[in-house]
Homo-oligomer: A and B are copies of this chain.
Amino acid sequence: VRRITVLLGPRSYDVIVGQGLLDQAGSLLPETPGTRRVVILTDSGVGEIWGARAEAALKTRGEIVAVQVASGEASKVLAVAEQVMDRMVSEKVGRSDLLVTLGGGMVSDLGGFVASVYHRGIRVAHLPTSLLGQVDAAVGGKTGVNLGGGKNLAGTYHQPIAVIADTETLATLPEREFTSGLAEVIKCGLALEPSLLDLLEPAAPAVAAREPEVLAELVAACVRIKAGVVAQDEFDQDRRAMLNYGHTLGHALEAESGFGVLHGEAIAVGMVASAHLAADSGLLDEGEVRRHISLLERFRLPVTASFDPEAVLERILLDKKRRGEGRWVLLKGLGHPVVVPVSEEAALTAIQKVLV
């Protein structure tokens, strides 16, 4: 069992990573004085597979209130958050009670949001069951729901009291979703901790076989990296932007595809475009660009996509304007992210290299 502490003063908490932890969730969570009810929020897909075990593990912590939402991004909206809260009101869930999310990033984003606003904030713990959830979404306290105009446009910062990542639950992930999660692992290596790549490359067969101990090592390494960044910049003022390597183009591709392209697939292509951009301005050499591509291909992630470059660029410019960000995360050598302004022309040139 690996335990990583996210250091945030009074909001510090542990991320616990290992094989078979779901059944121990009741004893692994920290004390929660006053808790009488434990809401377990999950989606229909995950609930069917892991719901009963989570309920059995957590019933020592309070009366279980099981709440299920439909699987898929369409549930990550205010109307569903309201349905969940209405149910919590009718079950008399109070300020001292605990909400536990069981599922992927959609569930931890939605459940984190609900926990942050219900009675102006109750405790939340995450049991992420997807690779993306374990390495990224469940750690760091960002919550979110989507608005008509875009993903995660409404949300809060609400740190969990603990995150328990059981790498056994990754065994049942659909292949494409598992592979998509690997893109965030590769991102951590490329952008922040190149030594992770040395761990990752030889482990490809074990990763493909989803060996829980190997996955635990990778997840723990990513969480350690993310925890370090979050500890320096809880409220996303500067440093945390470095976690968005590949995300500028990635978000645009996700949106342009109507979310038919998964998050990890989109940022994989986004990282390749960013590598080309960096090479064009002399920040990376061609060998480093090739390493991006070979790593992603080795883990069966896409390095190109089929979209109209002009339309995608338009979407990026709009998004950046709306968010008040004008710049991209590029690498000045592997593991050294910098935030730099990029001209429309330079962006288009790089985008054209990955959109075929």
Contacts and interface: CB of A to CB of B under 8 A. Distances in A.
Interface of A: 34, 78-79, 81-82, 85-86, 89-90, 92-97, 113, 116-121, 142, 144, 147-150, 153-157, 235-236, 321-324
A153 B89 contact: yes
Given A85-B147, A89-B153, A97-B324, 9 more contacts: A34-B324, A78-B78, A79-B79, A86-B147, A86-B149, A89-B148, A89-B149, A113-B117, A121-B235
Contacts of A323: 94-95, 119
A133 to B, nearest CB: 19
Nearest to A86: B148
Contacts of A120: 142, 144, 154-157, 236
7 contacts: A78-B78, A89-B147, A94-B324, A95-B323, A97-B324, A117-B156, A118-B153
Nearest to A113: B117
Copies assembled: 2
A89 B322 contact: yes
Given A121-B157, A155-B117, A322 B85 contact: no
A74 B97 CA distance: 28
B324 A156 contact: no
Given A116-B156, A120-B157, A236-B120, A322 B86 contact: no
Contacts of A95: 323-324
Contact of A119 (B90, B92, B119, B153): B153
